[in-house]
Structure 1
């Protein structure tokens, strides 16, 4: 068991060793139980300030970070970037320096450009959490996915996990491809050639959906990120569902007790049938949402623990 968490920032899965990931998941377990209590209030982050800076739209990630911080007793501010001085021509660097001068304890950053959270972390003196950077990474999503899998299956080591859909543009996929093999899972990706990354680092890839999910214990679906593909034709989405959409008939090719995951938002009838998404026996989608709050509570606690221990 680790005595402390050695990181101040969480910028990507690559910075974490397997033992550190498991330690974080163990810490998140207690918050899952805590969040099912009628009263959900802990004061360990009392007096700390968290600023959520989201340059991209978000429902699950933004709200879960806000809820996580407030349940731990922190002061939480959501910065409205549409109304910020960035729209007056202020540079991102100057915005970061300005926020740093306000002495926050944590900045949670989502941005459309890969590398922005890392850049800001080099400019400020507080903890920085990457809440998604372009097609870079989304580390807390991979952590909550790992927690969901472990709770539903009792383990991660040895499981066959198929990640399906728009792999090329997905920061969720990128973080999971770093996280899940590190914990012993056998991971494969499934999608059309145009939506698979050029480099997979030894991960098996399939362009046939039926073949790709054969025998899988976990089928993780991803949405087509149309905002990163402005030229995609709407009529092509029907073809995508026919070839790569997850229906009950197609899911029958996976393991008999396979569970289905999706980071959201879901495009029903494009990458997944609504009947599958709503099936509590097969779908872990709402479990992922619940695990997201607990995982982000664990991250906020662990990343600030050293500075809190040093406080007078």
Structure 2
């Protein structure tokens, strides 16, 4: 895993290894002793993904070289490639990139000599979101095989839907899709069902927002909740232990009734919490793959911290 770009590149063992490390980071603080720098290049708006990568990097002890497109040389015509090469040249050890293009990585892969993590590629993939979704499901059920997962919403324009469908199938889950006719993506070879079928079948209902920014014309949403969304009436028909997920941002009252966003079934904010630990694990895996650091550097850091703490205690006593 030289770069973290697509769920297609990950084996089942790779996925479970990242999930295992994420759980370890959730339970125990840790950091890297070696000074490292991360370049976070977000060419599209982001709250959860960008902020959780920053928190993940800082928890690992990585210095963050932040980037704001609106005040960068991108406005002067600088390309994604040249921006990435600039961050590499000034000392970034890895890059986290989000861009509106489906294939932006193809522009970079031949010219960079540092690892790249995909934080969102157009409509194509969002693998770190997928990994935090997988962790949330695994925490709930302890398995994937045999679970019924229904992804509901703007499938046609959703990189989250694509990444999750790929990974869940690989892990043995039964994946179904549900969408308004204009949001169906025929390139994804999974069965489509109605929303009323979905709520009765699903162990996990994974909702998606309507991605107006990727549409040529703004979609009509006046009756969307009643026709295709998760209403309180539909929620009552869900299995007793079924859960609700959503990558956010949430359009309350459109794809989901606002009262359900924080109901007992909802794991929406748990997903956000898990995003930090999953992204710590992803960073660790790519850095190890490149030989930028190894487990010994973490152990060394923890030993140094313990020794400093013990010396402080002795001086007090």
TM-score, normalised by the number of residues in structure 1: 0.90
Specify whether residues 238 and 46 from structure 1 end up closer, same or farther in structure 2 by C-alpha distance, changes over 3 A only.
farther
Corresponding residue of 2:258: 274
Q: How does 1:33-72 map to 2 (within 5 A)?
A: 33-34=27-28, 40=29, 42-44=30-32, 46-72=34-60
Q: Does the aligned pair in 2 maintain the 1:205–1:212 contact within 8 Å?
A: no
- Residue 120 in structure 1 maps to residue 104 in structure 2: no
Corresponding residue of 2:161: 173
Corresponding residue of 2:14: 20
Q: How many pairs were matched up?
A: 295
Cα distance between partner residues in 2 of 1:204 and 1:45: 48
When the two chains are superposed, the root-mean-square deviation of aligned CA atoms in Å is 1.7
For residue 29 of structure 1, the aligned residue among 19, 23, 30 is 23
Q: Does the aligned pair in 1 maintain the 2:198–2:205 contact within 8 Å?
A: no
- Residue 204 in structure 1 maps to residue 191 in structure 2: yes
Corresponding residue of 2:97: 109
- Residue 155 in structure 1 maps to residue 143 in structure 2: yes
For residue 236 of structure 2, the aligned residue among 252, 274, 278 is 252
Q: CA deviation at 1:8?
A: 2.0
Higher helix share: 2
Structure 2 segments unaligned to the other structure (5+ residues): 298-317
Superposition misfits of 4+ residues, deviation over 6 angstroms: none
Specify whether residues 45 and 228 from structure 1 end up closer, same or farther in structure 2 by C-alpha distance, changes over 3 A only.
farther
Secondary structure of residue in 2 paired with 1:278:
coil
TM-score, normalised by the number of residues in structure 2: 0.89
For residue 204 of structure 2, the aligned residue among 218, 222, 225 is 218
Corresponding residue of 1:303: 286
Structure 1 segments unaligned to the other structure (5+ residues): 1-6, 35-39
